[in-house]
């Protein structure tokens, strides 16, 4: 059977946006074919650079670290929640998500491995100042989602919480605390979520196996079988 693939990741390069106060991404030549017989680069970045996942340990003392989380948490059927009508800095509230509640509960009851993807279409602003002004989940919405049994949530924004540009300002990370506090996983900076609205898509966003770490960049993608043949 043939398959169709959709890239859900942002490219890591010198223009990659970092959360305010986080280390920026760099990829520098270390060895070259001309001088050393092979190209090898030195990479420096935050554990939350580009498209990445958060492990509970990111906000929860004693929470599971990246290498303690089962691989099944990072692979599953896509359940896309469309809130692309939301404006800059507008909260995503439970009434926006409630139409999907029955489907989410059905997936949980059927013991189906799935990932809830919050489609904002904010990835269109990637690389611009507008990207920091994304819509965000409010605490109640996060609590109600967790109450359905969802444990892996991805979003096409810099954070599921509101982003504060001043790294020294007191920020509210209530949504991180609710989801990660329940042992959940968060994926951030996803893209192209509008391309997987229809069909039976499987999402893969497996992190690097970094011992004891709080998060990792991923190459997130979705795929589905098609009726064509090779």
3-class SS of residue 198:
coil
> Strand, coil or helix: what is 120?
coil
Q: At what angle are helices 139-148 and 174-181 packed, to 10 degrees?
A: 20
**Residues ≥6 apart with Cβ < 8 Å to 192:** 6, 7, 8, 123
Question: Which tens digits make up the pLDDT trace of 192-203?
Answer: 999 998 778 999
**Residue 35, in any domain of the structure:** no
Active site residue 35: no
Residue 170's pLDDT is 76
Marked catalytic residue, from 48, 52, 58, 176? 58
E strand intervals along the chain: 3-7, 26-31, 40-44, 52-54, 75-82, 91-92, 114-119, 136-137, 152-155, 185-188, 202-204, 215-217, 221-225
pLDDT digits (tens, 9 = 90+) for 118-161: 999 999 999 999 999 999 999 999 999 999 999 999 999 999 99
Would residue 26 count as lying in a domain?
Answer: no
Q: Give domain status of residue 67, yes or no.
A: yes
What digits encode the pLDDT tens for the residues 67-89? 999 999 999 999 999 999 999 99
160 belongs to a structural domain = yes
Q: What CA–CA distance (Å, rounded) separates 143 from 141?
A: 5
79 contacts 102 by C-beta, under 8 angstroms: no
Cα separation, 26 vs 44, in Å, equals 5
Residues 6+ apart with CB under 8 A from 140: 93, 94
Name the token pair of 57. 């340990």
120 CB burial (10 A radius; 0-12, 13-18, 19+): buried
The reported pLDDT for the residue numbered 1 is 67
Q: What is the pTM of this model?
A: 0.95
Question: Is 68 a member of any domain?
Answer: yes
What does DSSP say about strands 136-137 and 91-92: parallel, antiparallel, or unpaired? parallel
Average confidence (pLDDT) over 199-228: 94
22 in a domain, yes or no?
Answer: no
Task: Please state the domain count of the chain.
Answer: 1
50 CB-contact burial (10 Å; exposed 0-12 / middle 13-18 / buried 19+): buried
Q: Judge whether 27 and 39 are in contact, CB under 8 Å.
A: no
Task: Examine residue 12 and state whether it is found in any structural domain, yes or no.
Answer: no
CB-neighbour burial class of residue 102 (10 A; exposed 0-12, middle 13-18, buried 19+): exposed
- CATH code at position 174: 3.50.30.50
Residue 59: domain span: 3-7+47-225
Asked whether residue 42 is assigned to any structural domain, the reply reads no
């Amino acid at each position: 059977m043939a398959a169709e693939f959709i890239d859900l990741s942002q490219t890591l390069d010198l223009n990659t946006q970092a959360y305010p106060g986080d280390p920026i991404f760099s990829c520098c030549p270390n060895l070259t074919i001309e001088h050393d017989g092979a190209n090898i680069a030195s990479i420096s970045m935050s554990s939350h650079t580009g498209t990445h996942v958060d492990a509970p340990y990111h906000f929860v003392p004693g929470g599971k670290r990246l290498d303690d989380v089962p691989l099944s948490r990072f692979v599953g059927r896509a359940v896309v929640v469309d809130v692309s009508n939301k404006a800059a800095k507008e909260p995503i509230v439970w009434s926006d998500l409630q139409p999907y509640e029955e489907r989410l509960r059905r997936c949980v009851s059927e013991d189906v491995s799935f990932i809830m993807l919050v489609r904002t279409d904010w990835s269109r602003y990637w690389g611009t100042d507008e990207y920091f002004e994304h819509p965000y989940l409010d605490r109640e919405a996060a609590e109600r989602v967790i109450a359905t049994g969802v444990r892996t949530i991805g979003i096409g924004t810099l954070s599921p919480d509101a982003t504060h540009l001043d790294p020294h300002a007191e920020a509210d990370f209530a949504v991180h605390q609710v989801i990660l506090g329940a042992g959940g996983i968060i994926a951030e900076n996803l893209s192209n979520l509008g391309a997987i609205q229809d069909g039976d898509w499987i999402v893969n966003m497996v992190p690097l196996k970094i011992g004891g770490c709080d998060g990792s960049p991923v190459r997130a993608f979705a795929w589905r079988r098609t009726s064509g043949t090779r």
